[in-house]
Amino acid sequence: MKQKLLNMLALQDQLNRQINPDWLQAGNEWYRAIWLESAELMEHYGWKWWKAQEHDLEQIRLELIDIWHFGLSAELLACGGEQEQAAQNMLAQLQGGQADETDFRSNVDQLARHALQSRTLDMPAFLSLLSAVDTDFDDLYRIYVGKNVLNRFRQDHGYKDGSYIKTWDGREDNEHLAEVVNELDADAKDFQERLYQALERRYPA
């Protein structure tokens, strides 16, 4: 688990540096990204009691992965970019287990509340939300690496200047990503490279 945390922290640092080489000094408010993504998470789960709503489990998982990106970044920032220390801190938090609260919406509320009050990721609430959509740590790792590679792929192909093409062959890039991830071995040492190459082959020239 610690090695996978180190891999994810290294990937997050790499992505953040791709966007801004000086990201540790940029003053980015990662906690704000966490609570705003929590609102999007709630939308996909459904909160309107006056209308019928279905839980969009795949989108919920993707929103949780986005929140994990920001949680990794917040921990790295708190540790001054020291990945080993950040991994130790997060490992201890992960081993603390899930929240006692079992209601999904209440855990989303707690995630947002904690982000606003403590400016960090509430790990127990986050783990409870993952469990609610049948996602364990290995799933988290696989999906995170996939989304991280896609984010890097987007940056490399013009996401920042608006030239990136998000829909290929009638499907969004997230859909292509999900398909490719399921075809590859997430435990392989070259998983990230193979995933990036697979996206490259699919992307319209």
147-168 tens-digit pLDDT: 889 988 999 999 988 999 999 8
d(CA 202, CA 68): 27
Nearby residues of 182 by Cβ (< 8 Å), 6 or more positions away: none
Alpha carbon distances (Å) from 34 to 41, 64, 147: 10, 9, 16
Please tell me the predicted confidence (pLDDT) of residue 26: 94
Portion of the chain with pLDDT greater than 70, in percent: 100
Overall average pLDDT of the 19-36 stretch:
94
- 10 Å CB burial of residue 121 (0-12, 13-18, 19+) is buried
Length of the chain in terms of residues written: 205
d(CA 127, CA 99): 7
User: Residue 32 carries which side chain, given as an amino acid letter?
Assistant: R
d(CA 172, CA 88): 36
Query: Whole-model pTM?
Result: 0.84
Overall average pLDDT of the 126-130 stretch:
96
Nearby residues of 82 by Cβ (< 8 Å), 6 or more positions away: 76
Select from 147, 130, 155, 158 the least CA-distant residue to 186.
Answer: 147
d(CA 12, CA 5): 10
Nearby residues of 45 by Cβ (< 8 Å), 6 or more positions away: 55, 56, 60, 104, 105, 108
Of the pLDDT bands very low, low, confident and very high (cuts 50, 70, 90), residue 183 is confident
Task: Report the chain's terminal Cα–Cα distance, integer Å.
Answer: 38
Please tell me the predicted confidence (pLDDT) of residue 54: 86
Given a contact cutoff of 8 angstroms between Cβ atoms, the answer to whether 70 and 37 are in contact is yes
Q: CATH for 1-133, among 3.40.710.10, 1.10.4010.10, 1.10.300.10, 1.20.1440.230?
A: 1.10.4010.10
Model pLDDT for residues 74-118, shown as the tens digit of each residue: 999 999 999 999 999 999 999 999 999 999 999 999 999 999 999
Of the pLDDT bands very low, low, confident and very high (cuts 50, 70, 90), residue 179 is confident
pLDDT exceeds 80 at position 9? yes
d(CA 140, CA 65): 7
What stretch(es) of the chain map to CATH 1.10.4010.10? 1-133
Of the pLDDT bands very low, low, confident and very high (cuts 50, 70, 90), residue 53 is confident
